[in-house]
Every structure is written in C-alpha cells, then in structure tokens.
Structure 1
C-alpha cells in the first residue's frame, strides 16, 4: 500500500526513515491486544526509528535538513506541572505517541515535531541508532535506580531492554552486576555488555542493593522485590499481562523497599542515551539479529514474541 509523502507543517520535520525496530508493543498493535487508551486505529506503527531529515516546516532551522536524527515519541504538552518539572513521560495531557496514536516509522517517511528530534553525527550508524528508543527507556531505568559505584545489582531479563540496562549500569562500576534469564545464550550476551555474571531465575542468593526488572513475565516483578536487600531499590519496566503475581505489601513495608516504575522515557533520559551513543559508550548494533525490507514486515513482526532465543532486535528498512 502506498500513500502520498506528507508535508511538514509549522514546527515540524519530515524524516526519511532509514531503519525502524520492532518490539512487543508493535506485536500488540498488530494482534489487536494493546489496551484501548494506548492505540488509535487505523495506525501506521513504528516507534523505534532513525533517519534523515528531508524537509522542515516554518519556524524550523533549515540547517536541520540533511541531518541524521532520532526522535522522542511522546507528544507532550510542555505546559502541565509534570512537563515543567522535566518529567515529560508523565505528561498530564491525553496519551499521544508516534506509532500508536500518530503515524509511525513503518513507512518511507514520517512527520514529527522538530523539538522532539535529537541530531546525530554525520557518520552515525542508523541501524544501531534505531535502538535509541529502547536505549532511552533503559537509561530512564538506570537513572531511576540511582546506582552508585560498589553496589550489587541484578537485572531480570536479558532481552534488548535488559541488555541495554546492563550497559548503562556497568558504567557506574558496580561490585557485582548479574543478568538473570532462563535463556543461557541471552544471559551470556549480557557479559559483553558489562555484566559480571549470569544466573537462571531461582538460583543464587539475593540481597542486591538494586534490582531492575525488564522481562514483564508474570512473576518477574515479585521476583525482583524478593531479590532486593532490606532498604533496597527496585525498578520495574516490564509490562506483564493480566494475572501477574503482585508484590507482597508486608515485605514492601517491613523491608523498606523503594519501588519505581518506568514507562517510556523523559527527555532527559533520551539526552543521556544519545550522548552515550555518540561518545561510543553505548553500541547497540550487536543486539540486532534480523533485518527485513519493509515489504516483509509481516515476517518481521512474527519473529517478535516467537520465543526463539536466537531472535534479538528485529529491524525493517524501507529502502532495503
């Protein structure tokens, strides 16, 4: 199916998409399982992307044309108390996000507010840059964890998000950084991202200062709290389906646990992720396992959530 190329309006930029990643949320949109408040059909999905600015609208500097970019997806109001406090992922306005309520990147081009763009160096690898959206979420989780050098840290889940969290947390020089995943090969991939060890769920001691949950499995949120020491910090990023095991409120109180949730990424986390990428601290390219032309995106989305341990990040390229 083809459509005319849109034109950027005032304050907007037209981006020619180079690569777009798929995740479980895209599979939800495809299957019709995403909660109603968080999708608006008909929709062109695609919220993990990188590309080049092809044109700009009125009020946008012409110098942006031709620049490689990534972009934030939350269409925030910038006027509410949360936006003014810098917590843009908690915007009080109605939920509005590229790829879910606005046309996304599974297309040749997309139009976004220019204020949401993050320019990249001219030599940036745009395939790798397409992973900067999950990297921004990982950065938000790492920042929420408030980890300091010498702490013991566990990351539950060694999917794309978990591996990116490991990379950010490795940068704070923990005494121990353990990746927990039943898939041995995926857990061992965390070693290349900076983990000091791996384990399967249900093995080994707890007592971690920081536990970051990224898997979204029915038991992983409860397991994360169980792995934390008294007074420890737990960050939850996975979105389990109905019937998930909840956290024990008695333990939360008696063990003085601090629990934070992360949904999406505020602008500060995006800046953190882009800076890590452009300075060479973060290289997401090894996480890419499959690339398809956009015309075969049905095959690409079928791999996401297939359970195949050999499937990491899947990309589609409009011009492949």
Structure 2
C-alpha cells in the first residue's frame, strides 16, 4: 500500500524549490529554498527522499526537550540523495555518488568517539534536522565525513529508510547473536522489523516477533520471523537466549526478562516511555541476565546497515506505505501520529 502523490503550490511554484521551516510547535511554513554551498570539508546533496519518525513528530508538536531542538529549523534526519558538490578538502570522488548520512555531528576526538561510540560524543549535542538544517529541502549541506556511499544501482527510495536500520543495527551489534539461538524481538514497528531482518542473517533456530497488532504478522514473517505472537497470546513464552525490546512500551522491558532463559541477554533499543515498569534487580541477578542498551547509531552501526543494504540482506522498502510531496508536510505529520497498523513509514520528496 504505497500512496504516491506530489502536490503543487499556489501560484505555480514547483515543490522541488520548497523547504519546510518549523518556526515553533505546530507552526510551519514552506519557503523558497536557497541552496547553501558546501564549506570546507562539506558536501552538498540533492535530496531524493526524507523519512518521518516519532522524533520528527515530537519536534512538530513541541514535545522535544529544549537542549535537543533549535527553532526555527528545517526538519529531516532520515534521508537519501546524491552528492552534487563538495567543498575544499572533501573528496571530489563523492560527486555523483548516491549517499545517506549520519545525523549526529560527532567530534571524532573525545574518548567515546575514539572508542567508536560516536553516538555518545561528549562535545555537545548537534544533529541534522533538530539543531542543524535538515533534509526537508531540495538540497542539504553537511560534513562529508558523515556520508556513507551506496552502490550506483541503489534504490534511493529504499535507502531513505537506512537511518532506522542503523539504529536496529546498533541493537543487533550490542546483542552479539549466535547461530542456533532462540531469539525474540518485541515490537513490529520499523526498528523491530529491521532488527528482525538483521538477526535472521545469524541463522537463529527461532526468531519470534511479539507485538500488539495481529495485522503485522505477515509483514513480520516477510522480514524473517519464524513465529509471531500478540501479547494476549504470549503467556508461556520463555527460554529465549536473546530478546531485543524495540518497542519501549510501559511493560515490555519487564516482560522481556521473563522471556529469557537463565543467563540470557536483553537489549533495550530506542527510547523507552517515561514511567515504564521497573526491572526487578533480584530477578535479574538471580537469573544472571545480561542487559545492554542501544540508543541511536554509531558510525560503525551505520556502516554495518549500509553494507547489509548494499548486499541486499536488508530490504526496508516494504516498510514504506506513503510517499508525499513536500507541500503535504502537515498530512505527513498526521499520518506519522496515526494509531493505524496499516500506516508504516512515510516519505516526503522535496
């Protein structure tokens, strides 16, 4: 169910020349886009598509914490495109290459960055689409070192979904799955299904998806799940070697600990809701459970996701249900907030 619509603006202005600017919560405008030429070490990208996730909706509604937003802002941190120019010091070989790019502006020199945890950079938060101009515009300029190149025949529409894939890759890398393991993923959203597909490459003996809606069962199986349960039929699920909680709902982390065998591993991915049920330390310690977390994606997780995508081991296009023109930004925000299992990822085309 992929709806493709490209609208036009009053006065005949082409949507290819428009950018979204959020002046504040629920206050946006479409403005004439003036491309910014790339500075030293930067690349200028012609944006093909930009995805919308829960963080973008938080930005739109004004629910994002003050240190993590800077209005006015052009949103858009999930995107794909083609390099059309580079600044001094950036490789000219990038010109004409299809690319995706990391959103977090890491410093490369602090201790976490040197350890490879670029998503934990201590230099201060800066991110494309939240504090720096994002991709809901025809072009985007950003540091060339944040780009990941794609094969010449890459589908740029599918590639626009690689940002959540990188976050899923971070969770899988933290999980250290082993062949033959019994694995469960909680959540059938983009993060959960992309993690499921990546986990399938490790040949688990069982790959269960546990989620809320029965409508996601077929899609989960197409992403590699060998079984699917809704929570009302999930009692008695135990003995898993590994569980990834990609839902972050009120009770999912606590439920995950009961699904694990003694000595099993739990990875909490994404951003849990406030007020989630607390884990029982006595239960965790007595059963010697290992708990890890994954928040965002390091450069290494990005590289892993891009390699899997380039090798056709990661195929996120089925997550896409709506493609809209940039002038339908408000409708895209409504779709992203719809509690509808038939609404998946939404893309805008600047």
Q: TM-score range by the shorter chain?
A: over 0.9
Aligned residues of 1:180 and 1:187 also touching (Cα < 8 A) = no
Counterparts of 1:1-320 in structure 2, within 5 Å, are 1-201=31-231, 202-318=234-350
Q: Is contact 1:217–1:238 with CA below 8 Å preserved after alignment?
A: no
Moved more, 240-249 or 4-13: 240-249
Return 5+ residue gaps in structure 2 as ranges: 1-30
Q: Structure 1 residues 23, 85: closer, same or farther in 2, change over 3 A? A: same
Separation in structure 2 between the aligned mates of residue 234 and residue 72 of structure 1, nearest angstrom: 26
Distance 1:236 1:13, change over 3 A: same
Q: Which has the larger radius of gyration?
A: 2
Deviations 1:57-108 (A, max 9, x none): 0011222111110011110011111111111111111111111111111111
How many correspondences in the alignment?
318
TM-score, structure 1 normalization: 0.97
Q: Which runs of 4+ in 1 moved over 6 A?
A: none
Shift of 1:255: 1.5
Q: Deviations over 1:271-311 (max 9, x none)?
A: 11111111111111111111100110110111113111101
Normalised by the size of structure 2, how large is the TM-score?
0.89
Contact 2:33–2:137 under 8 Å retained in 1: no
* CA displacement, residues 218-271 of structure 1 (integer Å, 9 cap, x when unaligned): 111222222122111111113233222121122122111111111111111111
Could you tell me whether the CA contact under 8 Å between 1:211 and 1:228 is conserved in 2? Answer: yes
In structure 2, the CA distance between the partners of 1:238 and 1:60, relative to structure 1 (3 Å rule), is: closer
Aligned residue in 1 for 2:7: none
Separation in 2, partners of 1:301, 1:204: 38
